[in-house]
Amino acid sequence: MDNIGDTIEISAEKFKKILDHSSDEIFVIDDQKKIIYVNKLCEKHYGLKPSEVIGEYNMSLFEKEYWRPSIVPLVFEKMEPITIKQTTYIGTELITTAIPIINEQNKIELVVITAQELQNLTSLKEYNENNDSDTNAFPQQALFTNSEKMKHIIKFCKKIAKVDSTVLIQGDSGTGKGVLASYIHQISDRKDGPFLTINCAAIPENLLESELFGYAKGSFTGANANGKHGLVEEAEGGTLFLDEIGELSLKIQAKILHLIQEHEFIPIGGRKPKKVDIRIIAATNRHLIDMVKNKEFREDLFYRLNVIDIKLPPLKERTEDIIPLTYYFLNKFNNKFSVNRTISQECLDIIANYSWPGNIRQLENVIERLVITSDSVIYADDLPEVIFQNTKNKSLYLTHSSLDSAIKEIEKEFIRKSFKKLKSSRKVAKELNISQTRANNLIREYCEDLKEN
């Protein structure tokens, strides 16, 4: 126990609780620039638990690009408090202040760093625009990751982006195939040209052909008399992304093959081939090789597309990405709907342990729904039933060794759900078929945070 003043004692456990509930991230490094303390906000800002950060050297995390720019060299150089703007890899903007604690030998003993989210500042005047070292921030990118598997894929993309070979991205629905295709385009020499996407499954075959290749003057009745350019022509100098390529008919597959091999195409109703300079990136969530075996997909086109193939892992194989993505989407929808929802630890744990069969898209949709439907804090019981139950059932067995504690957990869940909905102990008692005294006691035990002030 620490004795503070004459009468108040704060245990180390309570002290940790206080720091973890600060709205600022608190980050302390020693004279060797080793991280000796960080509060729980580091999970929100970097998707890393304090236990993964404490004991690391500041530089080694900085080199893994969790944030930019670094404040530590500045404070060691100037030996005085410094404030700068930083951006984390999930796009959170922070106003960070580093305060050196200097010992009697005039050496830095510790540096206490606090970081506040820019969107939380009530007044933007609170920080000086001139101090802002934004030039070092991350480039605007829609693709970020904390997973080694994905970092490997991104490294591979950086190598292949510069060549013009066709790329085939395979992966389950919602794993980010479109985002990856756009990323490859953005880091390629074609970045100043267009990036056009067509979803081959969403358009009927006859329309798809004219969308892709356009048609010549007066080629059919009802068509624009001057003809029409297709996406292949409009993508000149850029990249054409063919999403869900497994859905193409054999006729259009033949035209795509010709386009890839000869860099030319003939518009519908046209006679002369037109040359184009485009890169093709294709994606599918189907097993193309099985389709080839079943003669549903041309073997020659498959091998042409597959010159460079990338397999995107489902979210359950990159669980390190779940928490950073959750906060990324939370920030995104908080901004979109001008609210400031936070998320409870229990809810976060369930999200982190769920298998996400619909991958990133499903996670994004769930967070959007939670931001819209929850009150200021998002609790576990706000989650859609399927996620809540699925993880709950697993965790009941995993985390409860005794029958009594598992029963208590279920009791808590029932009471919270009912009280959240009905907001009255009388109604809860009625719904759950218990006495009002018992309902009152249970509400006092489990629902303090749900009571309206």
Residue 358 CB, nearest distance to ligand ATP (Å)? 9
The identity of residue 89, as a single letter, is Y
List Cβ neighbours of 25 (8 Å cut-off, separation of 6 or more): 38, 39, 41, 42, 44, 45, 94, 113, 114, 115, 116
| Six token digits for residue 163 | 């060549």
DSSP state, residue 268: B
Q: Does 142 bind ligand ATP (CB under 6 A)?
A: yes
Q: Which residue is nearest to ligand ATP (CB)?
A: 176
Q: Does 143 bind ligand ATP (CB under 6 A)?
A: yes
Interacting stretch for ligand ATP, rule CB under 6 A, among 142-150, 299-307, 333-341, 374-382? 142-150
Answer whether 271's CB lies under 8 Å from 231's CB. no
With CA atoms as reference, report the closest residue to 419 among 391, 445, 395. Answer: 445
Interacting stretch for ligand ATP, rule CB under 6 A, among 48-56, 119-127, 174-182, 337-345? 174-182
**What letters, b where the CB count within 10 A reaches 16 and e where it falls short, cover 401-415?**
eeeeeeeeeeeebbb
Q: Does 96 bind ligand ATP (CB under 6 A)?
A: no
Q: Does 242 bind ligand ATP (CB under 6 A)?
A: no
Answer whether 166's CB lies under 8 Å from 307's CB. yes
Residue placing its CB nearer to ligand ATP in the complex, 301 or 360: 360
Determine which residue in the list 47, 69, 178, 246 makes contact with ligand ATP, applying CB under 6 A.
178
Interface characters, 328-347, with ligand ATP (x: CB under 6 A): x-------------------
Residue placing its CB nearer to ligand ATP in the complex, 53 or 282: 282
Interacting stretch for ligand ATP, rule CB under 6 A, among 131-139, 157-165, 221-229, 357-365? 357-365
Determine which residue in the list 16, 33, 228, 361 makes contact with ligand ATP, applying CB under 6 A.
361
- Considering only residues 182 to 201 of the shown chain, the ones binding ligand ATP according to CB under 6 A are none
Residue placing its CB nearer to ligand ATP in the complex, 19 or 179: 179
Q: Does 175 bind ligand ATP (CB under 6 A)?
A: yes
Q: Does 47 bind ligand ATP (CB under 6 A)?
A: no
**What letters, b where the CB count within 10 A reaches 16 and e where it falls short, cover 234-251?**
ebeebbbbbbbbbbbeee
| Six token digits for residue 154 | 């991104």
With CA atoms as reference, report the closest residue to 185 among 232, 238, 233. Answer: 238
Residue 324 CB, nearest distance to ligand ATP (Å)? 9
Residue 285 CB, nearest distance to ligand ATP (Å)? 5
Q: Does 324 bind ligand ATP (CB under 6 A)?
A: no
Report the side by side order of strands in the sheet with 279-284: 195-199, 239-243, 279-284, 167-171, 308-312
Q: What dihedral angle (degrees, nearest 10) is formed by the CA atoms of 420, 426, 429, 430?
A: -100
Answer whether 108's CB lies under 8 Å from 31's CB. yes
Q: Does 154 bind ligand ATP (CB under 6 A)?
A: no
Q: Does 202 bind ligand ATP (CB under 6 A)?
A: no
Q: Does 97 bind ligand ATP (CB under 6 A)?
A: no
Interface characters, 279-298, with ligand ATP (x: CB under 6 A): ------x-------------
Binding site for ligand ATP (CB under 6 A): 142-145, 171, 173-179, 243, 285, 328, 360-361, 364
